[in-house]
A and B are shown apart, each in its own frame.
Chain A
Amino acid sequence: MTTLTYEARTETRRSNVRTLLAKVGPLIGLVFVVALFSSLRPQRFPTFGNVEVMLLQTTVVATGALGMTLIIIAGGIDLSIGSAIALVTVAIARFLGGFEIFGLVVPPAPPGLAALGGVAVGVLCGMLNGLLITRLKLAPFIVTLGTWGALRGAAKGLANEMMVVAPSTWLNSLLKTLSPGDRWMLLPPGVWIMLALALCVGAMLRYTRFGRHIFAIGSNEQTARLCGVPVERSKLLIYMLAGAFAGLAGVLQFSYLTVGDCTTATGMELDIIAAVVIGGASLNGGQGSIFGSLVGALIMTAVGNGCTKMDYRNWVQEIVTGGIIIFAVALDRLRQRRT
């Protein structure tokens, strides 16, 4: 390393540029999208109000994406997260209103406890996925395709296939545009919660043994095993942790809806996966970042919101979003082939 040739030095510089590009690539995409819509609709797109709306729209997907990023880096996938979110909204509504199960009367819970209960339901969903994957040694795609259906069914069962109306509490204000008296907060509390957690998860991935183990498992499970990484236990933990984030996404979704809805978040699993993938994660595992996933989620929202502001019809927006997913991943492949 002491005697680098000129060639090697250029190579180093070139590779630094590449790593930098890989890190900020999605960010450049976001800046581009925002700049595009800002120039096309300068009156309606780049306003404080609209930015706040976009952040609100992104928060649920972004919270779910925190857990999904961990799973995808570890080489797995979770298709059941949308169903889990729906189940959680129903569970929270039930906790808030009180319910009867097997003749046992559960009294109405205070909002904090109900939210905690919702997160616990999310953790249980993740644990179910994790146990099936590690104990039965099944592919995550298959397991979560199964729980995708099963959890949606459970949500419908718990809701008697109806909207579950819940008493109004402070939970409902987590994801609301701020009232003038709360302007000092800058952003709604739900957004702050998501950002704080993102910071924690990002730090965990980079600065803890568990975080590095997640990368190792996704990059090469056999190597991880050879090096003494407790692969099965780590995977279970990853799915449970992701379940907790799904639970939290459910709390935020409930806050947004103010009712328990067993049909909510249908197809959201794909939005979440798309956000993670646009953010630079590889479905083969071993690659991905929290920052990237957040930017990915923002890109999706910005495109959707921008199309609305352009008065494009919904179907146009869906085609554009689909195109962006493919374009982002193709760009990533191209970049990797160069290496």
Chain B
Amino acid sequence: MPVEPVAVTTAERLRMVGVHKRFGATIALGGVDLSVAGGEVLALVGENGAGKSTLMKVLSGAHLPDDGAMCLDGQPYRPRNPLDARRAGVAMIYQELSLARHLSVMENILLGMEPTHGPFMAWNLVRKRSAEAMAQLGRPDIPLDAPVYRLSLAEQQLVEIARAIAIGCRVLVLDEPTSSLTKRDIVCLFDLVTRLKQQGHAIVYISHFLEEVKEISDRFTVLRDGRSVGGGLTADASTDQIIAMMVGRTVDELYPRSPRTAGEVVLEVNDLAGAGKPESASLTLRRGEILGIAGLVGAGRTELLRSLFGLAAVRSGKIKFGAYVGASSPAGRWSQGMGMVSEDRKAEGLALSLSLSDNITLSKLPPFLSPSRQDELSMRWIDRLKIRCRSPRQSAGDLSGGNQQKLAVARLLLHDVDVLLLDEPTRGIDVGSKAQIYQVMDELACAGKAVLMVSSYLPELMGVCDRIAVMCRGVLGDAKPVKELTEHQIMLEATGSGEAA
């Protein structure tokens, strides 16, 4: 079928009403209403864990909703699987692209719907149709024969969008499409989105960059804790209003900060260099303070924590932790009183198939143990951190992201460490769990513990830290008190755009 441009229309294309989805005891979606018309860009905003990705999985047929209705062009729409959804004309472009890297551009565009003559590929038709799709995107310059891995990330994304166009999509969903694009590519992408909109496509644009939302969308819908809590015309709402809807509480409530005073120096690092990154890092961490490390992804912040904890090699430099000098192993660090929460709780932070109790007590097991005693010990911290679970014998993989993260933190609390290394401790978890983790960090600092925290989310760093140091290309800058910093200054330093005044 040749690709027919969809007629420009303002009729409602997609409507979702009262969509519910629960996983076990966790309510992922508790009533979402949303609609988007042809020729319109709807921005879907919400914090991590607000339910955006679950909603999109329902839309794309990966999850079946427990309750609620969906309509596509006035017809009931009930996809049973992703293929169903694609056939109905709902196309998703995820952050992680789903291309066959070794196949050519045109093969990728028509993957799964290749035109054939009997058992043979109809190569002339493949070329013709993919060329049409590319022309519709305004990018006839991309070579159709090139294998996809030769293209830049932005071009690969374009191939995915071309694939969506080629199947004749009616609703196009872009999930955080700019997260790995350069400034110039973003401009091109926005031109493309505008072009598709003018061709009459309905577009759902998911992002938590509100500037982008303001620029590209006509309307917006805000998700919070699995519900749609507001929305309207983008032009009528200010960024602050949208944030207030997303967060649902004021910043002071989210980031508790009790008066605390920094005590003796507990960790001192001088000119530390790892195998690759960090190249040079110096810092001092005192009891009773939370020190934040800001910077871009890939600046070497995670590597710094890992080399401090003995998980990555130390090439040169000095580490002095209490009475202990020099590098150590994870086992050594735990026994010296240092603990770490990994940035990737699924791959490293937790053993998901083991019980909560096993996960919490793993770093501090006696040679001979009694399972019920381990459960008792774990329950204390499960209660303290309000981890929602059925029993300490339940496997960690059953919990929601936020509860899993609290579990990873509980291990450090049970071990009663003096220094906590937290790598992105609130990434991808719900607001409630975040608030609890901030609360615990505050209490720990007040009790004289020291926290070293890496985060990519600036408001969080500004909210919980006493001092912040910025890392840029493997080099850690001097830590400054939070009061003397602005987000703008930190971004300048993190992107290496010169020292802030």
Contact surface of A with B, Cβ cutoff 8 Å: 1, 7-8, 11-12, 15, 19, 206-210, 212-213, 215-216, 219-220, 222-230, 282, 286-287, 339
Contacts A11-B24, A208-B367, A209-B366 given: A225-B354 contact, CB under 8 Å? no
**Which residues of chain A have C-beta atoms less than 8 A from B350's C-beta?**
220, 223
Interface string of B329-372 (1 = CB under 8 A from A): 11111110000101000011111111000110111011111110
Contact surface of B with A, Cβ cutoff 8 Å: 24-25, 311, 329-335, 340, 342, 347-354, 358-359, 361-363, 365-371, 379, 382-383, 389-391, 393-394, 398, 411
Once the chains bind, are B368 and A226 in contact (CB under 8 Å)? no
Q: How far is the CA of A230 from the CA of B382 in the complex (A)?
A: 27
Q: How far is the CA of A11 from the CA of B398 in the complex (A)?
A: 12
Once the chains bind, are B367 and A216 in contact (CB under 8 Å)? no
Once the chains bind, are B368 and A208 in contact (CB under 8 Å)? yes
B367's nearest neighbour on chain A, judged by CB, is A209
Q: Which of A1, A8, A209, A286 contacts B365 (CB 8 A)?
A: A209
Once the chains bind, are B331 and A229 in contact (CB under 8 Å)? yes
Q: List 21 A-B contacts (CB under 8 A).
A: A12-B390, A208-B369, A209-B366, A209-B369, A215-B354, A216-B362, A220-B348, A220-B350, A220-B353, A223-B342, A223-B350, A223-B351, A224-B362, A226-B330, A226-B348, A226-B349, A227-B334, A228-B332, A228-B333, A228-B335, A229-B331
Q: How far is the CA of A287 from the CA of B354 in the complex (A)?
A: 8
Once the chains bind, are A11 and B366 in contact (CB under 8 Å)? no
Once the chains bind, are B354 and A19 in contact (CB under 8 Å)? no
B24's nearest neighbour on chain A, judged by CB, is A11
Once the chains bind, are B333 and A15 in contact (CB under 8 Å)? no
Once the chains bind, are B390 and A15 in contact (CB under 8 Å)? yes
Contacts A11-B25, A207-B370, A220-B352 given: A229-B362 contact, CB under 8 Å? yes
Contacts A219-B353, A223-B349 given: A228-B393 contact, CB under 8 Å? no
A221 → chain B closest CB, angstroms: 9
B310's nearest neighbour on chain A, judged by CB, is A228
A47 → chain B closest CB, angstroms: 39
Once the chains bind, are B351 and A219 in contact (CB under 8 Å)? yes
Q: How far is the CA of A7 from the CA of B25 in the complex (A)?
A: 8
Q: Which of A210, A215, A228, A282 contacts B363 (CB 8 A)?
A: A228
Q: How far is the CA of A1 from the CA of B347 in the complex (A)?
A: 28
Q: How far is the CA of A339 from the CA of B332 in the complex (A)?
A: 37
Closest 6 CB pairs of A and B: A228-B331, A219-B351, A227-B363, A220-B351, A222-B348, A209-B365
Once the chains bind, are B342 and A226 in contact (CB under 8 Å)? yes
**Which residues of chain A have C-beta atoms less than 8 A from B349's C-beta?**
223, 226
Q: How far is the CA of A251 from the CA of B366 in the complex (A)?
A: 34
Q: How far is the CA of A209 from the CA of B363 in the complex (A)?
A: 10
A23 → chain B closest CB, angstroms: 12
B317 → chain A closest CB, angstroms: 22
B403 → chain A closest CB, angstroms: 13
Contacts A1-B382, A208-B368 given: A225-B330 contact, CB under 8 Å? yes
**Which residues of chain B have C-beta atoms less than 8 A from A206's C-beta?**
371
Once the chains bind, are A8 and B390 in contact (CB under 8 Å)? yes
Contacts A19-B393, A209-B367 given: A228-B330 contact, CB under 8 Å? yes
